[in-house]
């Protein structure tokens, strides 16, 4: 799989369908970490070598954000397309529904993962969800052991970035799962508690604007997007 270097973060350049196929092919071949950084996470990784190393040692690194797509073009190493974590997760569930592969949902507030399970079982007949747990656990080892006991193949870890990525790094193998994916607030969307942006805004790369409209308190975080793109321009001009 070809990679695009976006200021040190090495993204796999894949279409959504290629990413889903790659994820499916990893199941049963060991313990694999999938990360879906947006521009905010890459910006943070520029100042956090441990986070950058975590990104670059993951089995799949998918560009979840139009900022990453724009930056890759600016830097002359364009990724094929934005691959949002939520779209990747939906693609996996669609591909694996009706098979013997199993899912576990970890994260969000109490009741949200269960609500997501109920909605997704309606949407994907034959989907096998063997367990859920909220993100308010205090014992990491116990949470990992609970997953291991279910025999889950795929785990959606929704603890917020980069906490979820470090949790997967530190406890993923103990879960016994093959594929662990950091998915932020996806369970809130799957449960119906939070609405995703309209399709037209997603297609136009304006999902970030919709999220800002719904959550004005995100303005401080969103300011990193132009800073990230300015840094990409500077990197390209310096030829580094």
Three-class DSSP labels, 14-58: CCHHHHHHHHHHHCCCCCEEEECCCHHHHHHHCCCHHHHHHHHCC
Specify the pLDDT at position 228: 82
Residue 205 clears pLDDT 90, i.e. is over it? no
Local confidence band at 223 (pLDDT 50, 70, 90 cut-offs): low
pTM of the model: 0.93
Mean pLDDT of the chain: 93
Question: Which 8-state DSSP code applies to residue 218?
Answer: G
- What is the mean pLDDT of the segment spanning 213-233? 77
Percent of the chain with pLDDT over 90: 80
β-strand partners of 10? 5
Residue 240 clears pLDDT 60, i.e. is over it? no
For residue range 96-116, list pLDDT tens digits in order. Answer: 999 999 999 999 999 999 999
For residue range 39-51, list pLDDT tens digits in order. Answer: 999 999 999 999 9
Local confidence band at 219 (pLDDT 50, 70, 90 cut-offs): low
């Amino acid at each position: 799989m070809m990679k695009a270097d976006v200021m040190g973060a090495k993204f796999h350049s894949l279409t959504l369908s290629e990413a889903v196929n790659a994820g499916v092919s990893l199941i049963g071949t060991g313990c694999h970490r999938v990360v879906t950084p947006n521009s905010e996470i890459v910006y943070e990784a520029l100042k956090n070598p441990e986070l950058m190393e975590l990104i670059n040692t993951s089995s799949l690194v998918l560009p979840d954000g139009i900022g990453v797509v724009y930056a890759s073009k600016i830097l002359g190493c364009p990724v094929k397309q934005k691959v949002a974590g939520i779209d990747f997760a939906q693609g996996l569930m669609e591909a694996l529904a009706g098979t013997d592969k199993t899912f576990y949902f970890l994260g969000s507030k109490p009741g949200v993962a269960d609500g997501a399970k109920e909605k997704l079982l309606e949407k994907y007949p034959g989907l096998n969800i063997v367990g859920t747990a909220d993100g308010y656990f205090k014992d990491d080892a116990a949470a990992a052991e609970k997953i291991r006991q279910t025999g889950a193949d795929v785990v959606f870890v929704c603890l917020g970035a980069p906490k979820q990525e470090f949790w997967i790094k530190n406890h993923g193998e103990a879960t016994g799962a093959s594929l662990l994916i950091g998915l932020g607030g996806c369970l809130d969307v799957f449960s119906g508690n939070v609405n995703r942006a309209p399709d037209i805004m997603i297609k136009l790369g304006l999902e970030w604007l919709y999220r800002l409209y719904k959550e004005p308190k995100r303005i401080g975080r969103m300011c990193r997007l132009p800073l990230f793109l300015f840094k990409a321009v500077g990197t390209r001009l310096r030829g580094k």
